[in-house]
Amino acid sequence: MSVLKLGIPKGSLQDATIALFERAGWKIYVSSRSYFPSINDVEIECMLVRAQEMARYVEQGHLDAGLTGNDWVLENQTDVEYVTSLTYSKQSRQKVKWVLAVPEDSKYQKPEDLEGATIATELVEFTKRYFASKNINVKVEFSWGATEVKPPMLADAIVEVTETGSSLRANRLRIIEVLMESETQLIANKASYADAWKREKINNIALMLNGAIAAQGQVGLMLNARRADLERVLSVLPALNSPTVSNLTDQAWVALNTILDETLVRDVIPKLKAAGATGIVEYPLSKVVL
């Protein structure tokens, strides 16, 4: 039997990734004593790997596919197949940013001001290439963590990843440049992706994960309306595409089915009721596949 070796990011993305797989239909069971979680799919073998190392092991063929940020693919300059982007992170469904930050009261206003300065970061090689491309001479030091607390005593500036910027603000830092945006990617070993069975399996995983992401924050809505009221109902009903309208046994009535942002429901349902809709049912979604 063919088996796909799949890397699951260990660390800050681990819980969000496992939750995403569960919404997509795969239950991953992690033991504190093992780096090889079990999964309810006999065609997949999982391994927990740090996101920073994932691309290297995928490139080398130790894993057929894995999830990691494009930031770490770029940091390691690995040659892998990008299968799909998956915009989710540990806190939100937004891309993260790698930013150049300095103390609030610092004299530095732009990257060029940092000539001869010391930069602390976990993203060492990318940061070196970034400053070299601007012909700015800096010393880039690897940071083992708590990077935000290092300026101004241990470094002049930092290159750090942020989702909301709250941690930077809490440490009295200000951003002077965004180096890149990053999001989670499903990547594959190029030889594995050339294999017909593995390619189909990887693409199916991508399809279901994207469906689970698309369903986040969305709900389904079913309702009935008289044909005479249909135009008024449709005028207040937002839809992912066009709402599905079906005939009922009573030809004077139709049934509608649509998808909308859950934040709109509290405003839309009263408007639908006022427009003549009845039998309104809201239901949760686990996947939306377009």
- CA–CA separation, 209 and 67 (whole Å): 11
Enumerate domains of the chain plus CATH numbers. Answer: 4-91+184-215 (3.40.190.10), 96-182 (3.40.190.10), 218-284 (3.30.70.120)
Mean pLDDT of the chain: 93
Contacts of 52 (CB under 8 A, 6+ apart): 68, 72, 75, 122
Mean pLDDT of 150-168: 91
Predicted local distance difference test score (pLDDT) of residue 5: 98
Contact 67, 19 (CB under 8 A): no
User: Is pLDDT of 93 > 70?
Assistant: no
- CA–CA separation, 194 and 188 (whole Å): 10
Mean pLDDT of 236-264: 87
- CA–CA separation, 76 and 277 (whole Å): 56
User: Is pLDDT of 55 > 70?
Assistant: yes
Q: Per mean pLDDT, which range of 3-7, 203-207, 243-247 is the poorest?
A: 243-247
DSSP assignment of 49-81 equals: EEHHHHHHHHHHTS-SEEEEEHHHHHHHT---E
Tokens representing residue 168 in the block: 């930077």
User: What's the pTM?
Assistant: 0.84
Coil, strand or helix: which one is 193? helix
Reported as a single tens digit per residue, the pLDDT across 104-132 is 999 999 999 999 999 999 999 999 999 99
- CA–CA separation, 6 and 65 (whole Å): 5
Contact 252, 208 (CB under 8 A): no
Query: Omega of the bond prior to 238 within 30 degrees of 0, cis?
Result: no
- CA–CA separation, 122 and 150 (whole Å): 13
Q: How confident is the model at residue 238 (pLDDT cuts 50, 70, 90)?
A: confident
- CA–CA separation, 31 and 37 (whole Å): 7
Predicted local distance difference test score (pLDDT) of residue 136: 97
- CA–CA separation, 109 and 287 (whole Å): 45
Please give the share of the chain, as a percent, with pLDDT higher than 70: 97
Mean pLDDT of 83-89: 86
- State the residue for tokens 């940071």: 143
Query: Omega of the bond prior to 103 within 30 degrees of 0, cis?
Result: no
Q: Per mean pLDDT, which range of 61-70, 92-101, 118-127, 226-235 is the poorest?
A: 92-101
- CA–CA separation, 118 and 88 (whole Å): 32
Contact 230, 222 (CB under 8 A): no
Predicted local distance difference test score (pLDDT) of residue 240: 57
Q: How far is CA 142 from CA 68, 98, 122, in A?
A: 20, 15, 5
Predicted local distance difference test score (pLDDT) of residue 187: 98
Contact 149, 159 (CB under 8 A): no
Coil, strand or helix: which one is 250? coil
Q: How confident is the model at residue 239 (pLDDT cuts 50, 70, 90)?
A: low
- State the residue for tokens 């930077």: 168
Q: Per mean pLDDT, which range of 93-102, 113-122, 152-161, 277-286 is the poorest?
A: 93-102
Q: How confident is the model at residue 91 (pLDDT cuts 50, 70, 90)?
A: low
